[in-house]
Amino acid sequence: MKALHFGAGNIGKGFIGYLLNKTGYEVCFVDVNQQMVDSFNETNRYVFELLDDSQTEIAVSPVSALNSLTQEEQVIEAIAKADLITTSVGVQNLSRIAPVLSKGLLKRQRENKNKIDILANENAINASSTLKQEIAQLVSASEMEEINAFAGFPNTAIDRLSLSKTTDDGEIALVEPFYEWVINKSEMTNLDLPSIQDALYVEDLKPYIERKLYILNMGHATTAYIGFLANEATIQSALEKPAIEQFVRETLEEASHYIHHTFGITHEELHLFIEKILKRFQNKNISDDVFRVGRSPIRKLSFNERLTQPARELAELGLPVGHLAIAVAAAFLFDNPQDEESAALQAYIQENGIEKAIPHFTQIENQQLVKRISENYNRLKNSSADELLAVLQEAGKEN
């Protein structure tokens, strides 16, 4: 079995390529980094490292690679012959790989027509559908109809923290021990291939996507914004403070009521999920910078995003939002001049005030919730690091 994977970054090497290899696929990476392409082809292997106490190294072999810039014809040929195609290039780069994918799929339509699934594993909702749309813009309607006859674009949800380090042998991916790869089986075209080892196949992806976004990603961002206000450099150091750890745990529990109400997932299951999240956040083998995690606050405060959605939905249901109101307020105080969105956010607040900034960026219409966020913003803004901890400890009383 042959798998073609676009993107030899940390997720590609330390997660997707690894599981494809474990399943028995010959993995060929497609990337633009010629040094990495040469290394894969010369050694037929690569190594990544687990962020565990032993710094466990894992070797993946056999692998090969192609450069999509200089070997387009070979990539097109590989698309026509592959049994499975996957990506981890970043959702913003899907439009860049769509041209060669469209050419390869049209070649496959002429020469092969064997069914194939194309899984875009990006940190975005319905990335495979996005990739399908990008391809559809490059071919005629009739050509896209022919592609749809043999190619499926199952959406996925992936979860594995990944970093990297530079060594004499090049960049090595560093990944946490935990991982989750959820695949929408109902959108698959080729069901004859063996299931990818350790992947979870489901009929409805939405509960898994929203659980990750509105609990895990929300909690990660909340820790970063509170950690920033507490003058902590990393997620791990922030959570060493009992008041912050307790606040983040209670915020996760608060947000979980939205998932329970929406999808019927039990409180017991969500509680176990939350405890697992906190253990991941507290992994002392990871140094997770609060500026990295908190970056792009405007996006994270938008209407359907991790902080705003659970807060406004729970408020409309009349359920507690005391912790989430503080988390949203903390995001408005995230001030990193090196972050373009943070700088724009602070400039808007400076010019228009927080009362206008909240509905402008979140589109929250619930005036009571807007007022609550605004009050928390002013309390946090005027609090020292020590006073901040007292505000966090009082959060539950306000519910």
Average pLDDT (111-131) is 93
d(CA 353, CA 374): 10
Please give the pLDDT value at position 336. Answer: 97
**CA distances (Å), 19 to each of 23, 24, 163, 236, in order?**
6, 9, 18, 28
Average pLDDT (331-349) is 98
Average pLDDT (261-271) is 96
Average pLDDT (339-362) is 98
Please give the pLDDT value at position 292. Answer: 94
Residue 325 has pLDDT above 80, yes or no: yes
High-pLDDT (> 90) share of the chain, %: 91
Instruction: Kindly list the strands in the beta sheet with 200-202, ordered across the sheet, starting from the edge strand earlier in the chain.
Output: 156-159, 180-184, 200-202
- For 187, which DSSP code? G
Rg of the chain over all Cα atoms, to the nearest angstrom: 23
What six digits make up the tokens of 240? 């060493």
Q: Categorize the per-residue pLDDT at 52 as very low, low, confident or very high, splitting at 50, 70 and 90.
A: very high
Residue 288 has pLDDT above 80, yes or no: yes
pLDDT digits (tens, 9 = 90+) for 198-237: 999 999 999 999 999 999 999 999 999 999 999 999 999 9
Please give the pLDDT value at position 389. Answer: 84
Average pLDDT (21-46) is 96
Please give the pLDDT value at position 396. Answer: 61
pLDDT digits (tens, 9 = 90+) for 153-166: 999 999 999 988 88
Burial 66-76 (b: 16+ CB within 10 A, else e): bbbeeeeeebb
Please give the pLDDT value at position 398. Answer: 58
Please give the pLDDT value at position 384. Answer: 87
pLDDT digits (tens, 9 = 90+) for 71-88: 999 999 999 999 999 999
Angle at 111 between CA 117 and CA 192, to 5 degrees: 35
Average pLDDT (368-389) is 92
pLDDT digits (tens, 9 = 90+) for 307-321: 999 999 999 999 999
Helix/strand/coil for 22: helix
The rounded mean pLDDT for the chain is: 95
Q: Which run of H or E residues covers position 379? A: helix 367-381
Q: Categorize the per-residue pLDDT at 53 as very low, low, confident or very high, splitting at 50, 70 and 90.
A: very high
Please give the pLDDT value at position 397. Answer: 65
- For 21, which DSSP code? H
Residue 169 has pLDDT above 80, yes or no: no
Please give the pLDDT value at position 356. Answer: 97
Instruction: Kindly list the strands in the beta sheet with 26-31, ordered across the sheet, starting from the edge strand earlier in the chain.
Output: 63-67, 26-31, 2-6, 84-87, 116-120, 151-152
Q: Categorize the per-residue pLDDT at 399 as very low, low, confident or very high, splitting at 50, 70 and 90.
A: low
Please give the pLDDT value at position 131. Answer: 98
